[in-house]
Chain A
Amino acid sequence: MQISYYLKQKIIHQITNVIMILFLIITLFPIVWMAYSSIKENTDILSGKVALSKAENRTKFIQLDGPNIYFCTQDGGVNKFKLKDLSRDGYVSTQTMATNFAVDEKYVWVSSANRGLLKFDKENLKKVKEYKLPFKDIDISKVAGTIILNDGNAFWYSIHYRGFEGIMKFDKQKGTFSEIYELANELSPIQVIRIFKQGEVLWISTNKGLLKFDAKANKVVAATSLASYLPGGAGVLVASSGKVFLGGANGVFVFDIAAGQVVGRYQVEQGILSNQVESLISDGDQLYIGTNVGLSIINTRTNAVKNYGNLFNPVAEDKEVTKGELTAGVVAVMVKQGDKLFVGSTIGRLSEVDLATGKVLQTGVGKEGHWIIAWRNYIDMFKNINFGKYLWNSFFICGVSMFISMILATFAAYAISRFNFPGNKLFSLSILATQMVPGIMFLIPIYIMYIKFTELTGIPMKGTYFGMIFLYSAFFVPFSIWILRGFFAAIPYELEEAARIDGCSPLQVFWYVVLPLAMPGIIATGIYIFLTAWDELMFAWILTSGDTMTIPVGIRLFVGNYQNRFDLMMAAATVATIPVMVLFFMLQKHIVQGLTAGAVKG
């Protein structure tokens, strides 16, 4: 078959295009990977996970509300289901941290550590208002949880945070927080985990024990240590008729209010499926215990136990995390209505359970959590190391060195390209020769010279801006002269001649005629010096210290100290790259022209 010449050319052209694009992708991949890794969670990197991870959508809160049911998950997702068939009617995600929820007559309230208290319209789930939390000096990433409890016209509000011992009231109408009521007591320091309201009393579960808080007088009335029963504190609690039931890692404990102490315990021997209690509700004599494998119901009068294991279809381990088809068996939250129980699982599923048979009637699927983009890596990096300082040092040292060496190089290059003075050859040759000497050859003597100079005169050289700028300026001059020489040589001599005839002094000729013409080349050279200085590690490593460290030295030090923190490493690498990228983009034309002009002329 005969293929025409032009068709053949066209095919070759297209194939080359494809190869070129492939090549481009491979070329750019490492840079993209650097930026991508810098926003990943380090745990994901260390476990070899390539994709970003999704926020956990463990059920946090369920509330029945007429024909609807509000189903809220830890990642800040509010699902509005229809009670009838558990179909999703609305969804909003706040993508917040340490999220908790409350639903009242008109609004859905989302409390979070990073965005404060958010108010959503109950019907259309539109955001109405945002309230700031009245905390200062709190590290948001370390807030383990926010606690919000609906109480008529107000919320009881607290946070689970090391170093915070207090509770507040939030006025719904005014939208203001009250003063912080002190929770400090003989068990201090404590961290608030959960609150339950019974009449005028708030039962506050803390990591050390149970507090009885008078909601009228706003003070702690009694504190009971639970260290010997629930070392981590009770994760869930519910109070009913003279007793408080506390659930946690070791089972359910019964606290007698009148006696003021723990009087009993429900545990495995008594038939509860497992020790890990995730949720508790009390209804008359019945105590409903959600555990990590299912549901147990205890009659608190007769101690009769009824178990419903595996409410949910168990799924294979690997499937459970990534897809979350149905769910693991953990009952995270539950709400009872009549003879129906609504149960939320740890991976965002809401199921309706028939209490008579213990069968799951229907299941609603909550939206999956959002992708977690760990912008915090950048903040952490700036907090952990003095990166802002390094950045400034680099800018300052490189910038000033660039200016000084540009000026010196311009003068010198003009001199050697225009004046055939004795020694011109020698000077030009020595400029080239300096480029052939290994940097380490200079480094050792300069290091010792700096130290000796300081010993002799008392003027500090090593570890000062002046020392670094002096060094860099002197170092980048020869190469700059070498580049600039070509630019000056390209300027027609007749122009200068003409100017001189018109009565310009040599300095005037240089200033008004030569300099403007050589400006593009000078700019290109300057940028090149800046980029090279930004890239310099060896001299900076030895000759800077503490306050004057430049980015490469700072990053090197940081990498040594934070081994395996690849997320922070990549964040640091990205930040170090961005300034030069920006500079390159702004002045790309000059750089390319300057470099190619020098090279092509030889």
Chain B
Amino acid sequence: MARKKEELSRWRRFKRYGFAYLFILPTVLGMLILHFFPIVQGIYMSFLKLNQFTFNEFLGAPFIGFKNYYTVLFDMNSPVRIGLMDAARNTIIYTIFVTIGTLGFGMLVALMVNRKFRGRGVIRTLFLFPWIVPTYVTGLLWGFMWQRGVGIINIMLVDWFHILHDKPFWLIGPNTIWAIIIPTVWRYWPLSMLLLLAGLQTIPEELYEAADIDGASPWKKFWMITWPLLKPVWSILILFGLIYNVYSFNIVIMMFGFGAGFPGEWGDLVMTNIFRNSFLQWNFGTGAAASVLLMLVMVLIVLLWMRLYKSSEEYR
């Protein structure tokens, strides 16, 4: 009797699981074909001498071990390496500034719109506008605004407000790093604001009242109450900020070289560099090697983030 009951429940469980497996089956298939399989291929490709001459053989291209990795990391004479190192440096600067910038502006505006004032709903919506603009449009638009002679930014800086004497080049030379950071911050901070605002609204008012009674300054209230309580939000934002910004592509590619994407020494990012290297110069082997390295770095970053997040959670 008992055995029969157990059997029934097992069958039931199987039935239930079968249902679940059926539900995830299409997704799993899709992920196998378009995620898992390409990743394995990509990793394998990074060991092949795959360029325009051997492209037709694809996976049958000559196996050259870690040569691609050597080229990407250590070959001082390789143009691929030089470009990629510049791009890596830019990406680090870019990611740090953009992540801090989006979070900072997002926090600032979230605090400002979390008060009571007239037209609050409208203003909150208006603040979200940049985030709706597609990223390729952002690149195009800011590329136009950064133009040396006819761009509105130089016209403002030089002709209207007389901050500078000469119109600087924004899309050539070291200034380019700012020319890509600022639009990215502009495009992404509304999302931070939205999420932080939602987080702010969950903080109970009593905490602030208690702090008021204790005579805490606004500055102190922010750092002792708001910021720690928003941790789930900003830690997620930092993680996604890191991932999205390291993999940033559209804004840079649209801003330079009229959409061809030649951002030069100070504007190139790792993704745009690999993309050009792979699809404009057909160096798929080194491209794959660089992508694998990038992926490894990303896994490291995520693991580090998780460890920090977990450890601080325990501490609390």
Kindly identify which residue among B126, B142, B247, B258 contacts A28, using a CB–CB cutoff of 8 Å.
B126
CB distance from B217 to the nearest CB of A (A): 12
Which residues in chain A, 453-477, are within 8 Å of chain B measured between CB atoms? 470-471, 473-475, 477
Asked, given contacts A471-B34, A599-B199, whether A537 binds B133 with beta carbons under 8 Å apart, the answer is: no
Kindly identify which residue among B31, B155, B199 contacts A477, using a CB–CB cutoff of 8 Å.
B31
CB distance from A508 to the nearest CB of B (A): 12
Which residues in chain B, 23-57, are within 8 Å of chain A measured between CB atoms? 23-24, 26-28, 30-31, 33-39, 41-42, 45, 55
Which residues in chain B, 111-145, are within 8 Å of chain A measured between CB atoms? 112-113, 115, 117, 123, 125-130, 132-137, 140-142, 144-145
CB distance from A453 to the nearest CB of B (A): 10
CB distance from B191 to the nearest CB of A (A): 8
Contact B295 A437 (CB under 8 A): yes
CB distance from B189 to the nearest CB of A (A): 9
CB distance from B171 to the nearest CB of A (A): 13
Indicate with 1 or 0, residue by residue over A474-492, a CB within 8 angstroms of chain B CB atoms: 1101100100000000000
Kindly identify which residue among A31, A416, A447 contacts B129, using a CB–CB cutoff of 8 Å.
A31
Residues of B within 8 A of A416 (CB): 20, 24
Contact B127 A24 (CB under 8 A): yes
Query: How many angstroms between the C-alpha atoms of A217 and B199 in the bound complex?
Result: 86
Query: How many angstroms between the C-alpha atoms of A449 and B284 in the bound complex?
Result: 13
Closest-by-CB residue of B relative to A29 is: B152
Q: Number of residues in B with C-beta < 8 Å to the partner?
A: 88
Interface hub of A439, A537, A592 (most chain B Cβ within 10 A): A537
Residues of A within 8 A of B24 (CB): 411-412, 415-416, 427
Query: How many angstroms between the C-alpha atoms of A266 and B298 in the bound complex?
Result: 82
- Whether, in the assembled complex, B226 has its beta carbon less than 8 Å from a beta carbon of chain A, the answer is no
Contact A28 B129 (CB under 8 A): yes
- Whether, in the assembled complex, A255 has its beta carbon less than 8 Å from a beta carbon of chain B, the answer is no
Indicate with 1 or 0, residue by residue over A502-519, a CB within 8 angstroms of chain B CB atoms: 000011000000000000
Which residues in chain B, 191-213, are within 8 Å of chain A measured between CB atoms? 191, 194-195, 197-199, 202
Which residues in chain A, 550-600, are within 8 Å of chain B measured between CB atoms? 552, 555-560, 563, 566, 569-570, 572-573, 576-577, 580-581, 584, 588, 592, 595-597, 599-600
Give the dominant DSSP class at B's interface: helix
Residues of A within 8 A of B260 (CB): 560
Closest-by-CB residue of A relative to B36 is: A430
Residues of A within 8 A of B27 (CB): 408-409, 411-412, 477-478, 481
Stretch at the interface among A42-50, A108-116, A236-244: A42-50
CB distance from A549 to the nearest CB of B (A): 13
Residues of A within 8 A of B249 (CB): 439, 537-538
Contact B292 A448 (CB under 8 A): no
Stretch at the interface among B3-11, B73-81, B274-282: B274-282
Closest-by-CB residue of A relative to B299 is: A436
10 tightest A-B contacts by CB?
A596-B198, A474-B30, A415-B23, A419-B20, A445-B38, A559-B259, A445-B41, A556-B259, A411-B23, A415-B20
5 intermolecular pairs with C-beta atoms under 8 Å apart: A16-B115, A45-B150, A438-B298, A477-B30, A580-B134
- By a beta-carbon cutoff of 8 Å, the part of chain A in contact with chain B is 13, 16-17, 19-20, 23-24, 27-28, 30-31, 33-34, 37, 45-48, 50, 408-409, 411-412, 414-416, 418-419, 421-422, 424, 427, 430-431, 434-449, 452, 470-471, 473-475, 477-478, 481, 506-507, 531, 534-535, 537-538, 542, 552, 555-560, 563, 566, 569-570, 572-573, 576-577, 580-581, 584, 588, 592, 595-597, 599-600, 602
